[in-house]
């Protein structure tokens, strides 16, 4: 099947249902109809944010969970363990929550290499130590050979927010910051799978973002945040625009994109705006604070290539508008699904 082509069915789940686009949103909506949705805090399951909250006294405790089915398990710039820890930390961070602890659950296929398993665990430990977020509990299950594709990994996280940040808080006039080059993770995985090489080696951008986001939060003026994982920048911006009831105008020439990602995307026939990232955040900021927040982010380890890529507008509510390098404009639609399956 060509890259990006989706085979749809009304009666069964397809890969695109888990890929962060329109189909996944439709599947979640269908599932939620069959669940009694309760909220223990100000953000619950039905809000479909990066996590949910539990109110304990006057504090908002943020919880998040995610499962990882990456193929291959090891790739340039990381492995499934690194992505799992980074992804869970980042889901907490973009809600303004300081990550406190993580859990881990591993389901592994019989016959899987112990050396590879130890390598994955070591990777998880290294990132957790870097971010100063301990993995405090876990579970391991083994399935018979052939019943599983090597290994599935789940991580959950808990954090505390002094000021909760939602992905629905954008206001007209806000500036939109992306904290670095986009499309690195998904493009590098697909290039690696297909055996392509480029003059500049492509690597996953997987990284824990709490230190960078904390520095931005300390400046003040952040109105909304989201990490553009499955479905990439296109899906995340559309979700933020719809939830906030505003339009977003972004400028093509301001979007940071590596030459190798651009070349690989053209060769593979994919749109880098729709490709997963694992070490970037989209941040909506008050225009009065935008330049200071940008400078602050650029001084951090993972924010050196951050850019202001656009602004929030009153027109085109619920839509994302791209101003091209030639001065034209077009809508950036929510992708049907991630064009590259199993990248996270």
Domains of the chain: 37-161 (3.30.1330.10), 175-331 (3.90.650.10)
pLDDT of residue 200: 61
Q: Identify whether the C-beta of residue 273 lies closer than 8 Å to the C-beta of residue 332.
A: yes
Burial class (CB in 10 A: 0-12, 13-18, 19+), 33: exposed
pLDDT of residue 5: 44
Q: What share of the chain is helix, strand, coil (3-state, %, to 5)?
A: 30, 25, 45
pLDDT of residue 194: 79
Burial string for 287-312 (b: 16+ CB within 10 Å, else e) reads eebbeebbebbeebebbebbbbbbbb
Q: Identify whether the C-beta of residue 313 lies closer than 8 Å to the C-beta of residue 329.
A: no
Q: What single string gives the DSSP state of each residue in 78-122?
A: EEHHHHHHHHHHHHHHTTTEEEEEEEEEEEEETT--HHHHHHHHH
Q: What's the whole-model pTM score?
A: 0.90
> Partners of 158 in the beta sheet?
63, 101
pLDDT less than 50: residues of the chain: 1-6, 8
pLDDT of residue 60: 83
pLDDT of residue 3: 44
> Partners of 308 in the beta sheet?
177
Crossing angle of helices 114-131 and 80-93, rounded to 10°: 30
pLDDT of residue 199: 57
192-203 pLDDT, tens digit per residue, is 887 776 656 789
pLDDT of residue 33: 57
88-122 pLDDT, tens digit per residue, is 999 999 999 999 999 999 999 999 999 999 999 99
Q: How many helices (H) and strands (E) does the chain have?
A: 8, 14
- Closest by alpha carbon to 179, among 107, 287, 255? 255
């Amino acid at each position: 099947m060509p890259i990006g082509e989706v085979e749809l069915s009304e009666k069964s789940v397809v890969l695109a249902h888990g890929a962060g686009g329109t189909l996944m949103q439709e599947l979640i909506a269908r599932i939620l109809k069959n669940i009694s949705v309760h909220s223990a805090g100000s953000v619950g399951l039905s809000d479909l944010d990066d996590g949910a909250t539990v109110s304990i006294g006057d504090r908002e405790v943020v919880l998040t969970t995610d499962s990882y089915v990456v193929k291959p398990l090891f790739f340039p710039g990381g492995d499934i363990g690194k992505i799992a820890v980074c992804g869970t930390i980042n889901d907490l961070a973009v809600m303004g929550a300081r990550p406190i602890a993580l859990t881990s659950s591993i389901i592994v296929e019989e016959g899987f290499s112990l050396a590879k398993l130890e390598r994955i665990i070591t990777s998880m430990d290294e990132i957790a130590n870097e971010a100063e977020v301990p993995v405090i509990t876990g579970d391991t299950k083994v399935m018979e050979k052939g019943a599983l594709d090597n290994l599935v990994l789940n991580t959950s996280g808990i954090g505390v927010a002094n000021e909760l940040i939602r992905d629905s808080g954008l206001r007209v006039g806000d500036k939109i910051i992306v904290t670095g080059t986009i499309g690195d993770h998904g493009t590098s995985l697909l290039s690696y799978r297909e055996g392509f090489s480029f003059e500049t080696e492509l690597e996953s951008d997987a990284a824990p973002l709490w230190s960078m986001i904390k520095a931005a939060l300390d400046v003040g003026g952040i109105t909304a945040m989201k990490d553009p994982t499955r479905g990439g920048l296109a899906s995340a911006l559309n979700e933020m625009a719809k939830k906030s009831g505003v339009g977003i105008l972004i400028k093509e020439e301001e979007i940071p994109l590596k030459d190798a990602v651009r070349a690989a995307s053209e060769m593979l026939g994919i749109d880098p705006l729709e490709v997963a990232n694992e070490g970037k955040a989209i941040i909506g900021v008050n225009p009065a604070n935008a330049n200071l927040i940008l400078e602050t982010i650029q001084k951090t380890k993972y924010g050196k290539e951050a850019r202001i890529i656009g602004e929030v507008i009153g027109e085109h509510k619920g839509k994302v508008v791209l101003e091209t390098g030639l001065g034209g404009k077009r809508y950036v639609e929510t992708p049907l699904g991630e064009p590259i399956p199993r990248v996270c």
